[in-house]
Amino acid sequence: MSSPSTSPQVTRPDEVVIILDFGAQYSQLIARRIRECKVYCELLPYDTPAEKIAAFKPKGLVFSGGPASVYDDGAPECDPAVFEMGIPILGICYGMQYMAHALGGDVHPGDKREYGRTELHVVDGSDLFKDLNPQLICWMSHGDCVTAPPPGFVVTARTENSPVAAMANLERNWFGVQFHPEVVHTPWGIEILRNFLYRFCGCAGMWTMANFVRQAIDDIRAQVGSARVVCGLSGGVDSAVAGALVHRAIGDQLTCIFVDHGMLRKDEAQQVERAFHDALRAHFIHVQAEERFLARLAGVTEPEAKRKIIGNEFIEVFSEEAKAIGNVDFLVQGTLYPDIVESGVTSSGKKTAVIKSHHNVGGLPEKMNLKLLEPLRNLFKDEVRRLGEELELPDSIVWRMPFPGPGLAIRIIGEVNKERLEILREADHVIVDEIKRAGLYRKLWQAFAVLPVIRSVGVMGDHRTYAYPIVLRAVTSEDAMTADWARLPWEVLEKISNRLINEVKGVNRLVYDVTSKPPGTIEWE
CA atoms within 13 A of residue 166's CA, in its CB half-sphere = 29
User: Is 36 marked active-site?
Assistant: no
Please choose, from the candidates 231, 525, 475, the residue with its C-alpha nearest in 3D space to the C-alpha of residue 360. 231
Please choose, from the candidates 402, 403, 372, 388, the residue with its C-alpha nearest in 3D space to the C-alpha of residue 232. 372
User: Is 203 marked active-site?
Assistant: no
Neighbours of 355 (CB within 10 A): 12
For helices 209-224 and 381-390, angle between their N-to-C axes, nearest 10 degrees: 90
Active-site choice (15, 114, 182, 321): 182
Active-site choice (37, 41, 93, 145): 93
What is the separation, in whole angstroms, between the first and last Cα of the chain? 32
CB 141 within 8 Å of CB 159: no
Q: Which residues contact 240 (CB under 8 A, 6 or more apart)?
A: 233, 272, 275, 276, 334, 388, 393, 397
- 147: buried, middle or exposed (CB in 10 Å: 19+, 13-18, 0-12)? middle
User: Is 182 marked active-site?
Assistant: yes
Neighbours of 290 (CB within 10 A): 15
CB 503 within 8 Å of CB 430: yes
| Number of helices and strands in the chain (H, E) | 14, 21
Please choose, from the candidates 263, 261, 233, 236, the residue with its C-alpha nearest in 3D space to the C-alpha of residue 425. 263
Max Cα–Cα distance, the chain, nearest Å: 84
Backbone angles phi, psi at 477, to 5 degrees: -170, 165
Active-site choice (101, 180, 247, 261): 180
Left (φ > 0), alpha (ψ -120 to 50) or beta: where does 47 sit? alpha
Active site residues: 93, 180, 182
